[in-house]
Amino acid sequence: MSTSPTLYLPGTSYLHRLHPLSKLTFSLASAVIIFGGPGGWLSAFFPGLFAMLLLWRADLAGRVTRTVLRLLIPFAVVLFLVHGFFSPLNQTILLRLGPFALGQEGVSFAFLIILRLAATLAASLLLMVSTHPSHLIQALVEIGLSHRLAYLLGSPLLLLPQMVTRVQVIQSVQQARGLETQGNFFQRMRALFPLVAPLVFSALVDVEDRSLALEVRGFSSPNQKTSLMELVDTREQRIARWVMILLAGFLLVIGVWGRIHGSH
């Protein structure tokens, strides 16, 4: 198991060796195709399948699959219940449970949403598990982005896992003091309030410490920044990035065109 405070998993696979911008372009292009492309199901299925094949070749598919399932299973249950029983689209009844009826149209819509979210998560995690946040920030700076904006865009990859770890530490401390954090829904909600204040205060302290550390390292200095890490880019990867951008734009146009004419 990785001890990194980020989602990044150190390795030497071909995904790790790819330029961060290539993986970022793939993730963004996949999201555009999944939600804006034509075909509905096909546009949601193929980018996610391709992302999982890439992760499988890099021996990262197991970790990503567990993460996707852990995030989506509770959300999927709620979606299927809400849309399956209460969607206004329901016409074909699959099952009756007393006054409630499970509709095929609602179930299909809920499944499409889950498929889109799973595919988007797989494409996004492909970037996160194979790219260190500092490498992504450096890549954004090297293409001319302000180092402040680059840090703003890349820092969530570092901060969010740390917040999760901090929540787990606070929960352990609260349990040691006798607070019941497990049990039914109401017990969990009651345990939420004592968790919020320490989390917020520790996050504010962390922001101050992080800003002081950045200033000590000359973050706001107007001088040009240098890095010991050299990111290797290739002509083939630059061509592939443009192909992904053009393909996503083309499929987005077709998808929008189809929806506009399909509504008339």
Residue-wise pLDDT tens digits, 9-22: 888 899 999 999 99
CB 121 within 8 A of CB 68: yes
pLDDT score, position 236:
95
Which value, to the nearest 10 degrees, does the dihedral of the CA atoms of residues 169, 175, 180, 182 take? 50
User: pLDDT of 181-209, one tens digit each?
Assistant: 565 555 556 656 666 667 666 666 666 66
pLDDT score, position 181:
57
| Element containing residue 231 per DSSP (H, E) | none
* Distant-in-sequence, close-in-space partners of 225: CB < 8 Å, separation ≥ 6: 141, 147, 218
Decide: helix, strand or coil at residue 94.
Answer: strand
CB 229 within 8 A of CB 138: yes
pLDDT score, position 172:
73
pLDDT score, position 228:
64
Residue that is written with structure tokens 């999944």 in the block: 34
